[in-house]
Amino acid sequence: MGTEKKAEKRFLYIVEQIREIIREENIQVGDKLPSERTLAERLQVGRSTAREALRSMELLGLIETRHGEGTFLADVKKHQLVEVLARFILEQPGALEDVVETRRIHERAAISTLCRHERTAHLPVWESFYYKLDENESMVREDIIREMIIATNNRLSLKIWFLLKQYSSAPFNEDVQGEEVPLIQQLLMAIAEMKEEEALDSYERWMDVIE
């Protein structure tokens, strides 16, 4: 009753159960999870089994364990999984291109969405970006694109983008450089004017420059 789900793997089931506990107890980011022994007892499994589930979640960056202190719900931005998985992915030919292309899919989609709605096309952020670029203020690429995806209000797309960004070799966390400035300004202007095609075109030329 209630817990009748059939999971092929037990520890995957435990991961599910821990997720449920997090939800039921309304555990927020940074909060402490029940201890290993408590979890094991509550879920009616051995400590090793509970530990295997916890370790898996840790490698994914979902939780954070501190020796002698406890287990805590992690901020997703910890992304410990990235370094581990990136190495695996990079060893496979052709995979990196897929990652970059998929990242771009989400970026293009965000730009299209912005251009198609009055509200998102005229957010004060875009003007603010425009003037910062004009005044040669230091700006990071990923901040601009992140704002765009955030504005679309699709958190899943944002999450996927955030993940793919880490796999991308592109220097996304670097400052905007010389010849990019006018291209980004064109992009911002096109969004404000709701000219979708022009915006996407500026975007493509921007990407051609930095990669």
Partner DNA sequence: CTTAATTTGTCCGTATGTATG
Partner DNA sequence: ACATACATACGGACAAATTAA
Taking the complex as a whole, how short is the minimal distance between the CB of residue 42 and DNA, in angstroms?
12
Taking the complex as a whole, how short is the minimal distance between the CB of residue 52 and its own copies, in angstroms?
4
Task: For residues 101 and 210, give the distance between their C-alpha atoms in angstroms, rounded to a whole number.
Answer: 14
Give Cα separations from 91 to 80, 87, 98, 101, 168 (angstroms): 19, 6, 13, 18, 14
33 interacts with, out of DNA, its own copies, none, CB within 5 to 8 A per kind:
DNA
- Give kind and range of the element (H or E) at residue 124: helix 124-134
Taking the complex as a whole, how short is the minimal distance between the CB of residue 81 and DNA, in angstroms?
16
Q: Which amino acid does the sequence have at 68?
A: G
Which residue's CB is nearer to DNA, number 10 or number 117? 10
Residues that bind its own copies (CB under 8 A): 9, 11-12, 15, 19, 23, 48, 51-53, 55-60, 62, 76-77, 81-82, 84-89, 91-92, 94-95, 98-99, 101-102, 105-106, 108-109, 154-157, 159-160, 163
69 interacts with, out of DNA, its own copies, none, CB within 5 to 8 A per kind:
DNA
- 181 contacts 133 by C-beta, under 8 angstroms: yes
Task: For residues 72 and 65, give the distance between their C-alpha atoms in angstroms, rounded to a whole number.
Answer: 6
Residues that bind DNA (CB under 7 A): 9-11, 33, 35-38, 40, 44-49, 51, 54, 65-71
Which residue's CB is nearer to DNA, number 8 or number 97? 8
Which residue's CB is nearer to DNA, number 49 or number 166? 49
Extract the tokens encoding 201: 């075109």
Taking the complex as a whole, how short is the minimal distance between the CB of residue 17 and DNA, in angstroms?
12
10 interacts with, out of its own copies, DNA, none, CB within 5 to 8 A per kind:
DNA
Q: List, in sequence order, every residue forming a beta bridge with 65; answer none if it has no partner.
A: 71
Q: List, in sequence order, every residue forming a beta bridge with 64; answer none if it has no partner.
A: 72
70 interacts with, out of its own copies, DNA, none, CB within 5 to 8 A per kind:
DNA
65, burial (CB in 10 Å: exposed 0-12, middle 13-18, buried 19+): middle
Taking the complex as a whole, how short is the minimal distance between the CB of residue 60 and DNA, in angstroms?
15
Which residue's CB is nearer to DNA, number 13 or number 126? 13
- 196 contacts 116 by C-beta, under 8 angstroms: yes
Task: For residues 91 and 109, give the distance between their C-alpha atoms in angstroms, rounded to a whole number.
Answer: 29
